[in-house]
Amino acid sequence: MRRDHALLALREHVRDGDIVVAVYQACFDWLALSDHDLTYVATGAMGQAVSHGLGLALACPDRRVLVFDGDGSLLMNLGALVTVAGARVSNLHHFVFANGTYEVNGAHPLPGDGPVDFAAMALAAGYASAETFSDLDALRSDLPAWIERPGPTMATLRVVPGEAYPRRYDFIHSAEARTRFRNALASSRP
């Protein structure tokens, strides 16, 4: 499935009070497809998306936290899976966009000899549930019930690039991005 199509399916289930933690290519695509003010852009923190999401989930237990991670990014910090599972945060939903490459860093292939089973790793680490989706219709069908499960949960989304959206480095590294998120967090209620 195309990454942008998967993000559009997810967008339908993001509520006003939800926090979205997005990194790298999923972040750039999400920013082009959504104007969600509670989007926390974890830039320059390869491998730290779910760690940042965990901090936000612990600090905001009445909000759902949706982490839009990349497979290359998560590979940089697999130990975070055990930390997230150990925290037993029921409000954290971890989406791993798996395309087998470090896409924003030149589309270099991930190490290994085939797709990594992140869902199996999450379950072995102690996540409450995890599954893999490679079909957009199945994702759309299962997502309404799946996203209501108590976390931590993981959905690995096997994706290919979609439309080429602008890589807005100027925004993700800006004070404006942080101020927008901070103001939205302070002014909204779950």
Domains of the chain: 3-187 (3.40.50.970)
Tokens at 73, concatenated? 């990014």
Strand ranges, E, within 10-87: 19-22, 39-41, 65-70
Q: Are 93 and 124 in contact (CB under 8 A)?
A: no
Q: Are 98 and 115 in contact (CB under 8 A)?
A: yes
Work out the angle at residue 119's Cα, subtended by the Cα atoms of residues 3 and 99, and round it to the nearest 5 degrees.
30
Between CA 5 and CA 65 the distance in angstroms is: 20
Between CA 26 and CA 85 the distance in angstroms is: 23
- Which residue carries 């080429």 as its tokens? 164
Q: What is the pLDDT of residue 106?
A: 59
pLDDT digits (tens, 9 = 90+) for 33-79: 998 899 988 666 677 899 999 999 999 999 999 999 999 889 889 99
Task: Please give the residue that has the higher pLDDT: either 149 or 180.
Answer: 149
Between CA 2 and CA 115 the distance in angstroms is: 17
Nearest to 80 by CA among 46, 114, 113: 46
pLDDT digits (tens, 9 = 90+) for 155-178: 999 999 877 777 776 777 778 878
**Max CA pair span of the chain:** 47
